[in-house]
Amino acid sequence: MNSFKGRSLCIIDDFSKEERLYLFSQVKRLKAAVAADDRAVMDSFRINDPDFGIYEVFLEDSTRTKESFRNAANFHHAKLTEMSTDNSSFNKGESYADTFNTVIGYNNRIFIIRSKVEGVCKYLSQECSSYAARNGLPFVPAFINAGDGKHEHPTQELLDEYTFLEDNEWSTESLHVALVGDLYHGRTVHSKADGLKLWNKVRVDLIAPEELAMPESYVTKMKDNGFEVRTFGSIEEYLNQSDIAKKWYFTRPQLERMGEKILAKADSLRSSITFRKEFMDMLPENTKFYHPLPRHKEHPTIPTFLDETPLNGWERQSINGMYCRIVLLGLVAGKLGDDFIPAAKTEEPKKPEDQWIKEVPGSTGTKKEEISEGVKPIRDGIVIDHICKGDTPSEIRRHMTLIRKVMNLDDFKGGEWVSESANGQFKGLIFRPGTYTLDHKQVKRLAAVAPGCTLNIIENGKVARKFRTSLPPRIYNFDDIMCINEACISNDKQSENVQTMFIKTHDNRYRCAYCGRVHTFKEIFKH
């Protein structure tokens, strides 16, 4: 079994460390064969099938990614098609799913997509597999993310890692790298939050002014992955301390994506992340600069006078792009990788599906419900207690309005209040008299919108049953949840009719399964 065949690469984590190291070993072998003009070895890498369809769909500009993939496909002697997106039926409001399903039907197996829409490859890899199956197509289509909005650029990450390894004597022991530039918009640096796990010990120095700083979720991810992270506001500030990385990875300022206020400060922002001649003597020996490119001809952050210096690592990095993409296509096509032995999977202990709702022991129906503060005890109904314990009263009030909507609780009966406990913490309580039968789906909704609360079922003036909620591991299949990232394929703004799926993070937040945006539980419902 070839474990690479038909695989999609939507985020860098889709390929494990071992799989990437295998890919890099093949890139090294191919580069050596090309350098030696060893035709036999080069031929052993080729798909060599004029009917094997590779489709390039670039909905954003590109030179390196598009051209290196195009040259890689030509190397393979495969059928390469470039969709002319300017005059496709995208312009008639056709969805991504319908568009790609159409061309899958024409015997195309690998899709390389660049789009502003985040999570598009992940979505299509699910959607189009179903299309292929229901139409009896003899393959599973693979999707390669060539850059999706501000999210990820996993094939750039492959070539960056390969180039770092070349300059690290192939050691994966440790890496110290400075990421410089527009860390806010730069999808290449966002892929590094998981990509750099390739090394056992990682130190990352983030150099960017506040306006272009790395989003908090990626910094958190780096720290969760065990990276040591430091932040600096400018190159100057960075060079005025003694612990300077020998690898600097620059990324292009994308000020055009920002508002007027930021544009007014463009010169000073650029200056803080642009390398200057006067800094040369402050660099440690054997420093190398890298850049995914393009660099701006009027405002290059790596000025052209550096091209002829030993600092130049970005040109080889760009050349490596084609070799990494040749090998990637060969692996996904199933031409390469037969000799790769995947690590044995360690089975995760199965968690009970219903861990998010637990009956509190001892709720035997004998205890009297204690609803106080002037409200007459209810005879039959539900009481949701301990809502947002510890939040401010106004936050609790706001959230109780959301709970009412999510749980579709009748607004004309019962009530809610905020009370203060003995230790000074506030909590909310909602009560509704009447008969409420909460099914599995509704209880899951309650756990998602009101984790840590208690749900009391009141019968004959007594607590018949009491449950405690905690956040479900996954939330999906609800019509009223949505990723807050407007660029995400699952956001209503994209009109792609994609159901968001959220996956709980280790710190009790929710990551969108498509674009990776992290949400608090208060942010996932649309209401």
> DSSP alpha helices (H): ranges in 137-285?
154-166, 187-190, 192-195, 216-224, 235-239, 260-263, 266-272
Q: Which is nearer to ligand CP, 15 or 314 (CB)?
A: 314
Would you say 58 or 525 has its CB closer to ligand CP? Answer: 58
Q: How far is the CB of 58 from ligand CP (least distance, A)?
A: 8
In this structure, which long-range contacts are made by residues 97-101, counting pairs with CB atoms below 8 Å and at least 24 apart in sequence? Answer: 97/123, 97/124, 97/127, 97/128, 97/131, 97/496, 100/57, 100/124, 100/127, 100/128, 100/141, 101/127, 101/128, 101/131
Applying CB under 6 A, the span of 58-66, 192-200, 306-314, 347-355 interacting with ligand CP comes to: 58-66
- Whether 92 is catalytic: yes
Choice between 300 and 414, CB closer to ligand CP: 300
Given the residues 5, 31, 150, 153, the one annotated as active site = 153
The yes or no reply on residue 293 touching ligand CP (CB under 6 A) is yes
Query: How far is Cα 459 from Cα 378, in angstroms, rounded to an integer?
Result: 9
Closest distance to ligand CP from the beta carbon of 262 (Å): 22
Q: What one-character-per-residue DSSP string does 413-458 give?
A: S-EEEEEE-TTS-EEEEEEEES-----HHHHHHHHHHSTT-EEEEE
> Of 115 and 491, which CB lies nearer to ligand CP in the complex structure?
115
What's the CA gap between 72 and 75, in Å, rounded?
5
Residue in 2, 44, 62, 99 binding ligand CP, rule: CB under 6 A: 62
The residue within the footprint of ligand CP, chosen from 64, 76, 185, 504 (CB under 6 A), is 64
Per CB under 6 A, which region of 57-65, 296-304, 324-332, 476-484 contacts ligand CP? 57-65
Dihedral angle sign, alpha carbons of residues 425, 428, 433, 436: negative
Determine the size of the site formed for ligand CP (CB under 6 A): 10
Q: Which residues contact 223 (CB under 8 A, 6 or more apart)?
A: 229
365 binding ligand CP? (CB under 6 A):
no
Of 144 and 382, which CB lies nearer to ligand CP in the complex structure?
144
Instruction: Give the shortest CB-292-to-ligand CP separation in angstroms.
Output: 4
Question: What number of other Cβ atoms are within 10 A of residue 244's Cβ?
Answer: 16
Return the residue of 47, 52, 59, 65 that touches ligand CP, per CB under 6 A: 65
CA distance linking residue 235 with residue 254, whole number of Å:
18
Cα maximum dimension of the chain: 89
Catalytic residue among 7, 76, 79, 114: 114
Q: Is 114 a catalytic residue?
A: yes
Does 320 help bind ligand CP (rule: CB under 6 A)? no
Does 276 participate in catalysis according to the annotation? no
Q: Which residues pair with 58 in a beta bridge?
A: 114
Does the protein bind ligand CP through residue 363 (CB under 6 A)? no
Quick check: 296 binds ligand CP (CB under 6 A)? no
List residues near ligand CP by CB under 6 A.
Answer: 62-66, 147, 156, 292-294
Active-site positions read: 64-65, 92, 114, 153
